[in-house]
Amino acid sequence: MTNNPAVVASAYGEPDVLTLIDAERPTPGPGEVLIEVRAGGINPLDYKLYSGMMGNDPAALPMRLGLEVSGVVAEIGPEQPESDALAVGDAVLADRVKGGYAAYVVADRGDVFAKPETLSFEAASGLLVVGATAVDLLTTTDVTAGDTVLVHGASGGVGSLVVQLAVARGARVIGTAGAHRHDEVRQLGAEPIAYGEGLADRVRALAPDGIDVALDTVGTEEAVDTSAELVTDRGRIATIANFVQAPALGIQVLTGAGPSAEVRARSRQLLVDLASAGALLVKVDRTFPLSQAAQAHTYLKTGKAQGKLALIP
């Protein structure tokens, strides 16, 4: 069956390689769920995958995109256990999908969660990838009550979740952000601070007793250098975006592989529960129709988005 509008990268390159095709509507197998997508969450990794910066194997083209979605259960694969209450029509969110930029996508049952009523479909499509990454950062560096934590990129998708989860653990959080986003960061419970020249001195002035943990969601040399300068214990510094200078400085680089995979997988129900309780905010900047995936990615690349982006089929 066709009639499944979907976005593919037809080549490696800039966002103009993104095109809308009429794909097969998938059929869920045992242990799978077909989701009618209401919002396809956009992550920076989606762009990196077809940009060529992570490889350019021609065999991977055309490349379906989109790691996470929210939507409504359209069909449940055969052999659903009786104990499973999931039903057609349920509002859900899912990650680890292959090709979420589409009208329909299949997900493994274990990657499908009930959508918190507190989140719109747009916001729900942006919870799991950034949230699981944030939990991984906090778990790896063992953030706990009483810690003073420096978060680079506190206004970003991952950073804003790191801030909220660290504050919930009882930590004091100092977060870097552009001046126009300091109010947002403050509302999440952190103390905002400008990035750029003199960062380490500004942090010292705010936290004369020192920084226990530094978490980098930005990847600049400034972020890793400042972290290394301010935090003595390298085991309590982690980055998700600097793969160049961080390893030489002894800073942990988290990619989602190794022990992180299990931490991230296990974190998802907690994230859904916290969001359902109204304890986690996911800010959405803008949505685009599926047919405007290229425009959405061009906007993502400007770095001007103030919140998550999503594609609406």
Which residues have CB under 8 Å from 69's CB, separation 6+? Answer: 35, 37, 38, 39, 40, 41, 93, 94, 97, 100, 105, 107, 125
Report residue 213 as tokens: 């943990």
User: Which phi and psi angles does 240 have, rounded to 5°?
Assistant: -115, 0
Q: How big is the site for ligand NAP, counted in residues (CB under 6 A)?
A: 28
Among 105, 143, 165, 218, binds ligand NAP (CB under 6 A): 218
Residue in 15, 100, 156, 313 binding ligand NAP, rule: CB under 6 A: 156
Residue 217 found at the interface with ligand NAP (CB under 6 A): yes
Regarding 226 and contact with ligand NAP (CB under 6 A), the answer is no
Q: What is the Cα 313 distance to its own chain's centre?
A: 20
From the list 13, 22, 45, 54, which residue makes contact with ligand NAP (rule: CB under 6 A)? Answer: 45
The 161-180 contact track toward ligand NAP, x by CB under 6 A, reads ---------------xxx--
Choice from 73, 103, 130, 149 touching ligand NAP (CB under 6 A): 130
Residue number with CB closer to ligand NAP (120 or 226): 226
Does 116 participate in binding ligand NAP (rule CB under 6 A)? no
By the rule CB under 6 A, 237 interacts with ligand NAP:
no
How far apart are alpha carbons 215 and 224 in whole angstroms? 9
Of 6, 9, 17, 43, the residue at the interface with ligand NAP (CB under 6 A) is 43
CA angle 44, 49, 53 (to 5 degrees): 100
**What three-state secondary structure class fits 236?**
helix
178/189 with CB nearer ligand NAP: 178
For residue 270, how far is the Cα from the chain centroid? Answer: 15
Stretch that binds ligand NAP, among 14-22, 57-65, 149-157, 230-238 (CB under 6 A): 149-157
Interface residue with ligand NAP, options 153, 251, 288, 313 (CB under 6 A): 153
67 part of the interface to ligand NAP, by CB under 6 A = no
Q: Contact between 240 and ligand NAP (CB under 6 A)?
A: yes
- Using CB under 6 A as the binding rule, whether residue 181 contacts ligand NAP is answered as yes
Number of residue whose CB is nearest ligand NAP: 156
Six token digits for residue 201: 């001195």
The window from 41-49, 65-73, 110-118, 287-295 that contacts ligand NAP (CB under 6 A) reads: 41-49
Of the candidates 200, 150, 158, 157, which has an alpha carbon nearest to the alpha carbon of residue 175? 150
We find the least distance from the C-beta atom of residue 125 to ligand NAP, in angstroms, to be 13
Contact segment (CB under 6 A) with ligand NAP among 5-13, 17-25, 157-165, 266-274 equals 157-165
Which residue's CB is nearer to ligand NAP, number 15 or number 157?
157
Among 34, 65, 173, 241, the residue binding ligand NAP under the rule CB under 6 A is: 241
Catalog residues that contact ligand NAP under the rule CB under 6 A.
43-45, 48, 130, 133, 152-153, 155-159, 176-178, 181, 195, 217-220, 240-241, 254-256, 303
